Structure 1
């Protein structure tokens, strides 16, 4: 089994997962909007969802920076861990169909697209707001969310 990679770092332990997982900032309004879209365009639940603040993130991700502005969306599939713009691209690739068009972003060099990603991420609370607590999934969403 491959050990997941994150920006050249090896995660603390090899992990076996059955479905891909998107890790998001559960207190970020913009991130929750992305999760809302994901829930609508992936009605079969092929991608699971977990907040960065939860136990699943602690198990599957390297330690997060103390500064929340440095946090990123993460996407873990069966063999690798992606962050920032690569995570977004991989989610769109997995969704397929019209979402595959976002693969064109890959043509932009990663340092450039990650700089744009970081600008948005560092300003997300200021631009979109912040919830006082993590999102609580509805009854119909509960099976998609990991703690």
Structure 2
């Protein structure tokens, strides 16, 4: 885990269809508008990725900065999901051994373009979500 000055920021692969759908799900579900988003392909996202040792040209994880701490892979996904209204029950999944959770996460991450597809460029958020995007 690493520190970052901005809080509640989700770093994601903006050309990955699955990742972009995850961000749209979070944006809709996060009724308090707590989380903000940055695509790894944006200047801000690239700096964030590099600060955390993630290759911006071949990302193998998403990340979330929450409570001033950066979380990766399954920890990142569960940290976000368990913070959303109605999804608190997912905290129980932290009880699954991290190596097992991350193995499943990595399997999906490695195959995400093949399974879900890839955009030619980052998806464009709607006007409401745009205010929560950090570039």
TM-score (norm 2): 0.89
Q: Which residue of 2 aligns with 1:44?
A: 32
CA distance in 1, matches of 2:48, 2:16: 20
Unaligned 5+ residue runs, structure 2? none
In the TM superposition, residue 30 of structure 1 has moved relative to its aligned partner by 0.4
* Unpaired runs of at least 5, structure 1: 7-13
Q: Distance in 2 between matches of 1:126 and 1:22?
A: 23
CA distance in 1, matches of 2:61, 2:17: 14
Q: 1:64 aligns with which of 42, 47, 54?
A: 54
Partner of 1:115: 103
- Among 47, 71, 82, the alignment partner of 2:71 is 82
User: CA 1:143–1:67 in 2, change beyond 3 Å: closer, same or farther?
Assistant: closer
* Cα distance in 1 for residues equivalent to 2:10 and 2:95: 23
The ranges of structure 1 where at least 4 consecutive aligned residues each deviate by more than 3 angstroms after the TM superposition are none
Aligned partners of 2:83, 2:20: CA distance in 1, in Å? 19
Render the CA deviation track for 1:72-120: whole Å, top value 9, x for unaligned.
110002321000000011102322x321111121111000110000000
**1:16/1:78 contact within 8 Å kept:** no
> How many equivalent pairs are there?
133
For 2:8 and 2:56, locate their aligned partners in 1 and report how far apart those are by CA, in whole Å.
Answer: 25
2:5 is aligned, of 3, 16, 33, to: 16
Please state how far the C-alpha of 1:67 moved relative to its aligned partner: 6.2
Higher-Rg structure is 1
CA distance in 2, matches of 1:91, 1:133: 25
Q: What is the rounded CA distance, in whole Å, between the counterparts of 1:101 and 1:126 in structure 2? A: 30
Q: 1:35 aligned to 2:23?
A: yes
